[in-house]
């Protein structure tokens, strides 16, 4: 489990530091220094064990807030973790999968992926966010920051570096070949109508390649637009096809050759 490994590496570094201090103490203070260092070492080993037990909590039991207590969903600590691995528990099976905070593509043709760590103090639970009047493909897995399940209602959603709510939309979950566990859980808890969990793989693959964070599945769907850009490519997606249309100079005054919006 990657969460456990990440923290264990940190503990190993701490133990190495203590052993170094032990050597210094033995050389300068003899038996008294040795006694002090042994006490520090015992304390750090105990502390490390406690942290390790805490970090093994990587199970996603439910995405439905009304079932959190019944399914014994616990708070997850993702602070500083890079692409952590989770165990998805359903009635049929248990699967492991990784969920990134943010992926940046670099290199030739953007073929190299760089994973950003989850921010510090990222403690809470994943949950299913659905707006009834929007298309089911816009439903999203979000992360609610809270210190306990009882505090879910009063918690706030995790934000991206751009200040938007972090999330994994259904269309991305349906496309990702390694996220079978999430799809099984969505089906089991009947979070979307039958058939939407699968989607058209070829269409979803094309959509993923387009790297459009705001594809349109219906015309009443709100999207985020950068008003500093002169042109916007919008991907309109149906069950079996995807079309692209371009909006140019929406926020530019041609007569004065200025852009009225900035920031």
Query: How high is the pLDDT of residue 164?
Result: 85
Residue 86 tokens read as 């989770």
pLDDT for 90 equals: 84
Tokens found for residue 102: 């943010």
Q: Say what the pLDDT of residue 248 is.
A: 77
| Torsions phi, psi for 81 (to 5 deg) | -80, 145
| Cα separation, 181 vs 22, whole angstroms | 47
β-sheet bridge partners, residue 165:
159
pLDDT in tens, the chain (263 residues): 444 444 444 444 444 444 444 455 445 445 555 454 455 444 444 433 333 323 346 899 999 999 999 999 999 999 999 999 999 988 877 889 999 998 776 555 555 778 899 999 999 999 999 988 888 888 999 999 999 999 999 999 999 988 889 999 888 888 887 888 998 999 999 998 877 766 666 676 676 666 666 788 888 888 777 777 777 788 888 777 778 878 777 666 666 565 555 54
> What pLDDT does residue 21 have?
45
Q: Are 146 and 152 in contact (CB under 8 A)?
A: yes
Sequence ranges of the domains in the chain: 1-56, 59-199, 212-263
Q: SS3 of 3, please? A: helix
To the question of pTM greater than 0.75 for the whole model, the response is no
Q: What is the pLDDT of residue 5?
A: 43
- Per the rule left: phi > 0, alpha: psi between -120 and 50, beta: everything else, 188 is alpha
């Amino acid at each position: 489990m990657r969460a456990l490994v990440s923290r264990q590496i940190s503990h190993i570094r701490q133990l190495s530091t203590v052993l170094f201090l032990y050597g210094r103490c033995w050389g300068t203070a003899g038996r008294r220094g040795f006694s002090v260092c042994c006490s520090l070492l015992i304390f750090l080993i105990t502390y490390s064990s406690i942290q390790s037990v805490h970090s093994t909590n990587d199970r996603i039991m439910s995405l439905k807030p009304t079932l959190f207590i019944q399914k014994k969903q616990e708070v997850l600590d993702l602070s500083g973790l890079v692409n952590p691995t989770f165990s998805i528990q359903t009635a049929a099976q248990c699967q492991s999968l990784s969920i990134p905070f943010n992926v940046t593509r670099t290199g030739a043709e953007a073929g190299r992926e760089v994973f950003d760590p989850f921010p510090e103090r990222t403690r809470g639970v994943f949950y299913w966010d659905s707006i009834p009047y929007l298309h089911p493909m816009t439903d999203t897995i979000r992360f609610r920051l809270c210190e306990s399940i009882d505090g879910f209602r009063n918690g706030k959603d995790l934000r991206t570096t751009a200040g938007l709510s972090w999330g994994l939309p259904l269309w991305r979950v349906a496309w990702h070949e390694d996220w079978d566990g999430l799809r099984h859980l969505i089906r089991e808890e009947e979070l979307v109508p039958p058939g939407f969990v699968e989607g058209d793989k070829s269409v979803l693959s094309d959509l993923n390649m387009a790297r459009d964070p705001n594809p349109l599945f219906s015309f009443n769907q709100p999207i985020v637009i950068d008003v500093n850009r002169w042109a916007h490519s919008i991907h309109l997606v149906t069950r079996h096809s995807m079309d692209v249309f371009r909006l140019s100079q929406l926020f530019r005054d041609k007569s004065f050759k200025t852009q009225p919006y900035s920031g």
